[in-house]
Structure 1
Amino acid sequence: MFTRLTDNRGTWADGTTERLDALILATGSRPHRPYLAGLDGALDPAGLPRHRGGASPAYPGLAFVGLEWQRSLSSNTLRGVGRDAARAAPRLAAHLARNCPLPS
């Protein structure tokens, strides 16, 4: 697990850093997001994700799924998380395509 995140880098416990194109985290049934605390504007003062339909307004490459009432009553259930993920994935893919193009 990274000990620190910046705009496009993760820092490991030994201090080495790594460039990140994407980071997907599954925190389980109890939200625990201290790893986002260093990203100014990613969380509100209560530690909840700032988002619009799952998309972070502060970081175009950051999206959330599985949040309570993210888009619907079922957003934080196995039944609803897939719909929210299907909506987030194309936005993240477009962000990566614009910012991390594959070599030709």
Structure 2
Amino acid sequence: MFIKMDAEGVIWPDGIKESIDSIIFATGFKPIIPYLYGVEGAVDDRGYAVQKGGVSSTVPGLYYLGLSGQRSFISATIRGVGSDAKYVVKHLKRSTRRSS
């Protein structure tokens, strides 16, 4: 797992920086995302992801899966994550086409 995220990408534990266009966090029912606390706008004052439907509302290229109530009441379940994943990937593909 990377130790830090910035505008260009991530920094790995060995100090190597890597450019990353997109990151998808499969958070699970109770997301613990302290590595995003230093990313401006990524989380609110309660530590929750600032997102809509799994797409970050504030950090371009940041996506989530498995958040409770992400798109429906079953989003944080095996049964619900599949449709949320399709939604996120569709958004990611559109975003990637625009930037190329």
Instruction: Name the structure 2 match of 1:43.
Output: 43
RMSD: 1.6
Question: Any idea what the Cα deviations from partners look like across 1:72-93, whole Å, max 9, x if unmatched?
Answer: 1100000000111111111111
Unmatched 5+ stretches in structure 2:
none
Matched, 1:64 2:64: yes
Q: Which residue of the partner structure matches residue 4 of structure 1?
A: 4
TM-score normalised per structure 2 = 0.87
CA distance in 2, matches of 1:53, 1:26: 13
Q: What is the aligned length?
A: 100
CA distance in 1 between counterparts of 2:54 and 2:25 reads 14
Aligned-partner residue type, residue 78 of structure 1:
I
Q: Confirm or deny: 8 A CA contact 1:60 1:95 kept in the other structure.
A: no
Letter of the 1:69 partner, please give it.
G
Report the residue type matching 2:74 in the other structure: S
- Structure with bigger strand share is 2
| Higher relative contact order (Cα pairs below 8 Å, separated by 6+ residues) | 2
Cross-structure match for 1:84: 84
How much has 1:30 moved relative to structure 2? 4.2
Q: Distance in 2 between matches of 1:91 and 1:2?
A: 24
Question: Where in structure 1 are there 5+ consecutive unaligned residues?
Answer: none
Opposite residue 63 of structure 1, the aligned amino acid is Y
CA drift of 1:61 comes to: 1.3
TM-score, structure 1 as length reference:
0.84
Q: How far off is 1:22 after superposition?
A: 2.5
